[in-house]
Amino acid sequence: MTKKVWGGRFKESINELVDAFNSSIGFDRRLYAQDIEGSIAHCRMLAKQEIISEEEASLIISALADIKREMERDESPVDEDSEDVHTLIEKALVDKVGRLGEKIHTGRSRNDQVALDLRIYVREAIYRADNLTKNLQKVLVEQAEKNIDLILPGYTHLQPAQPVLLAHHLLAYFEMFKRDRQRLKDSLARVNILPLGSAALAGTTFDLDREMVAKELGFDAISDNSMDAVSDRDFVLEYIFTCSVLMMHLSRLSEELIIWSSREFGFITLPDAFCTGSSIMPQKKNPDVLELVRGKTGRVYGDLMALLTTMKALPLAYNKDMQEDKEVLFDTVDTVEKCLTVMSLLLNEVSFNGENMQRAAEKGHIMATDLADYLVTKGMTFRKAHETVGEIVLFAIDSKKSLKELTLEEFKGFAGQITKDVFDWLEPASAIARRNLHGATGSEMVKQSIERAKKEVAS
């Protein structure tokens, strides 16, 4: 068994089961690029501060670059005896440059080292999630623009409520993902803080230039409290929380697409390439991809709750419990990126069935609110109009008719103000055209929304 970096204090070797239980190399190896990037910056700073020589720094940095290339090509052997990615890389460095490699750890601890690695990793994950979410927004805008004339029922309580443009409906999700991107970007202010220099918990006796390291690594600020810096995982929690909200929006979109693809709705046709069949029912075309996105939302919620629970009672400063941050973080990153990618591809291939949508928008009593507004234009108060239209709807239900199928005489039986222009008023397209105010479903307003959205995703 490889000698531990902390082994000097101990008389006995660690129990093999405990060693395996304690190890994180099986999952934190993916932090190798961030760890090496941080080590190179730390090494340059040590040379600048004359803690090590320029020649020593050059040899160390060259060896670290070689190790990174080897690990990228998966040529570096997996050292199962290394506790974590930090000791794995340090051992590989010592193998290349001898005991000189041991100088790389001067002035730092694995506590501030892992905090640094995680901050770089989360920062990169935020950039990727932002780009993938922007790609999904682009698809939504493209579909909205392509299908600008399609009308469908808008729903509340999953009951037909009022006619809306499909484009307006799709752009509602654009707005949700816009907020997700804002949250991702806002969180960078709390992610992009350099913890290196905090050492184990109290700082270090070496005269480190923390500002230099921050500049080298693209950090906006340095941490103000060493104990907080090594024990803070708020930035991981915030990232997973933001991803949880993002996944909730993906789940809502998935749910609607699943419903719309059902025979009962028939609003969309899902691409075959994103569906599966049944092992027993030959006719089935199942929206498995959308169901998986919906299901994986709960998985990300679980990651958030797991880390919140881990952190809830930890005293300052670092505790080994915090090793549990990585698996949930990595799981969230992988899950969100896969879901965003597959959703963009699927949505780009969805076909919208305009005729079915139009028929649904003309059925029943979806124009009841507009009929009440019509009566208001004829001089009736809205409360009276609401009551009158309720009575008309009840009459239509008993008569097994839609509002448009009622005769003018039947309308007049409830309100003498109604004239033949009511039938034009009750057309769904007419209802759309009347809603021309900012944020509403009116055609001109939606076209303006599309143009704004296109500019946002192009910037």
Strand-strand pairing, 151-156 and 268-269: unpaired
SS3 163: strand
Q: What angle do CA 278, 280, 284 make, to 5 degrees?
A: 40
| Interatomic CA distance for residues 182 and 129, integer angstroms | 11
| Token code pair at residue 457 | 């995703």
Nearest to 206 by CA among 193, 216, 219, 196: 196
| Interatomic CA distance for residues 210 and 203, integer angstroms | 11
Composition of the chain by helix, strand, coil, percent to 5: 65, 5, 30
| Interatomic CA distance for residues 285 and 275, integer angstroms | 6
| Token code pair at residue 234 | 């708020």
| Token code pair at residue 455 | 């500019």
| Side chain identity at residue 209, one-letter code | D
Whole-angstrom CA distances from 65 to 39, 100, 362, 419, 442 are: 10, 16, 66, 82, 58
Catalytic residue among 157, 279, 438, 459: 157
Q: Determine the angle formed by the axes of helices 234-261 and 325-349, rounding to 10 degrees.
A: 30
Q: What angle do CA 422, 427, 432 make, to 5 degrees?
A: 115
Catalytic residue among 62, 278, 351, 399: 278
Is 278 tagged catalytic?
Answer: yes
| Token code pair at residue 312 | 């809830």
Contact 275, 332 (CB under 8 A): no
| Interatomic CA distance for residues 363 and 8, integer angstroms | 80
| Side chain identity at residue 196, one-letter code | L
User: What's the full length of the chain, in residues?
Assistant: 459
Q: Which helix (H) or strand (E) holds 152?
A: strand 151-156
Is 244 tagged catalytic?
Answer: no
Query: Within 13 Å of residue 55, how many CA atoms lie on the same side as its CB?
Result: 0
- Active site (catalytic) residues: 157, 278
